[in-house]
Amino acid sequence: MQLTQYGCFIDGVWAPASSGGYVEVLDPATGSLTAEIARGQEADVDAAVASARQALPAWADSLPAQRARLLAAIARRILNEQEELARLESLDTGKPLQQAQADAVAAARFFEYYAGIADKVQGASIPIGTEFFDFTVREPMGVTAQIVPWNYPLQIACRGIAPALATGNTVVVKPAELACLSVLALTRICHEEGLPAGVLNVVTGLGHEAGAALAAHPDINLLVFTGSVQTGRNVMRAAAENIVPVLLELGGKSPNIILPDADVDAIAPLLLKAAFPHAGQTCSAGTRVLVHRSQHKKLVERLSALLKTLKVGPGLQKPDIGALVSRAQQQKVEGYIDLARQEGATVIQGGVWQGDTDMAAGSFVMPTILDDVGAGMRVHQEEIFGPVLSIVAFDDEDEAVRIANATEYGLVAGVWGKDVGATHRIARRVQAGQVFINCYGAGGGVELPFGGYRKSGFGREKGLDALLSYTQVKNICIRIES
């Protein structure tokens, strides 16, 4: 099989990086080489930003209805190519194919949703007396730089690109070197559907080279980053040098709170589904279960039984749990499981790969449940980013809320129970950007504002609230001659 090489996409043209170098892309399920991507560096980022800057005036001044029609066409094209996009996403990230298929549908939905909003971004008039006519308009931020992570490259790229384009911004994307093939396919689709040259540019390469250059670039107007807390700190520092606003979506350690009257048998499968999307490599995964002590034993037994039924394997075979994205991520997760034992937690089952030796070359970790976890343990506090679920018992509402809030994160939470008053009280007190009651997630969630408290980041993506990040308000005041 001939190895595919991908270039950067700058000013409407695919081309190798200026250095001529490439980065290998590996299949996490087998460890085999699948492709090579251009190793973009500072010169390539400069070219991409310059292209986006040049294209900005015409795109910002284009009719909103024109932008809406183009975004709608891109959405239809994504749906038409969803099977190939899902195959690339599964092959590249290791996630089960059915999850990658859902990502492709969500990607199209982002373009559909913001196509519907593009011609409805309005200002307001402000009454300040008869002497003045005062009004506001919302204008695009300008050149938006978007650094996309490896866990949901297609979906996260679309959730940033679609609202940026809808509101008249131009875009420079730096996708993660570990998984970016679906983003490159998306770029091709946008170009083929008629997106003008320079409006969307993509520079592939390493984070500390191309990513760092983009975050520090003096001619961007907004930096959008999804990733780890430490890297988020670094990109904030870089953007601060140029007084560039930052939209951050960082880590999570999201709790599901199980009240005494919850139906454990019914919700146990939903808790595993919440904990293990993309093998737990999801910032919003419900990786902590806080259960009332009266329900603790029953829930552990139910979850343990269900865990034994989960199939682990290569993503294209549609397992329940796929490979982790890399060998380094696999070793990190295995290290946390060892740490849990050292801290006194009980490993119910799972951990180091125990399946077929034929899959030993892949980056697999068995789905794992940790019981007897204390709120002060590192496995309770830190984001593991793997198929590891921690269980903590509590005695009353106050303790449940205290444990739920006892991490540096605040991204998502779930509350489960029949007492409407109790579930609502807890939902109001939990510090998280999204709180679900008797569910965890709602379809693709494209319409729901998404973002975190504390070290889970700031700003909101998805929904109408995303427009606040991708536009800026200008006030215009006119004195009326009497």
**Of 283, 334, 383, 461, catalytic:** 283
Q: Torsion angle, CA of 255/269/447/413, rounded to 10 degrees?
A: -10
Count of other CB atoms within 10 angstroms of residue 24: 11
Average pLDDT of the segment spanning 123-143: 94
Average pLDDT of the segment spanning 242-262: 95
Average pLDDT of the segment spanning 226-252: 94
Please return the burial class of 469, using the count of CB atoms within 10 Å of its CB with bins 0-12, 13-18 and 19+: buried
Residue matched to tokens 């913001």: 114
Q: Active-site residue 249, yes or no?
A: yes
Average pLDDT of the segment spanning 175-179: 95
- Per DSSP, what are the bridge partners of residue 415? 257, 437
pLDDT bin (cut points 50, 70, 90) of residue 1 is: very low
Terminal CA-CA length for the chain: 78
CA 391, 395, 400, 406 dihedral sign is negative
Q: Is the pLDDT reported for residue 164 higher than 60?
A: yes
- The percentage of the chain sitting over the pLDDT mark of 90, rounded to a whole number, equals 93
Average pLDDT of the segment spanning 212-235: 95
Top pLDDT among 362 and 72 is at 72
308-327 pLDDT, tens digit each = 999 999 999 999 999 999 99
Residue 353's pLDDT is what? Answer: 64
Q: Active-site residue 180, yes or no?
A: no
pLDDT bin (cut points 50, 70, 90) of residue 360 is: confident
Asked if residues 81 and 73 have their Cβ atoms less than 8 Å apart, the reply is no
pTM here is 0.93
Q: Closest Cα to residue 296, out of 347, 344, 262?
A: 262
Residue 224's pLDDT is what? Answer: 97
Q: How far is CA 414 from the centre of its chain?
A: 18
**E strands along 49-199, which residues?**
125-126, 132-140, 143-148, 170-175
**Of 42, 177, 249, 383, catalytic:** 249
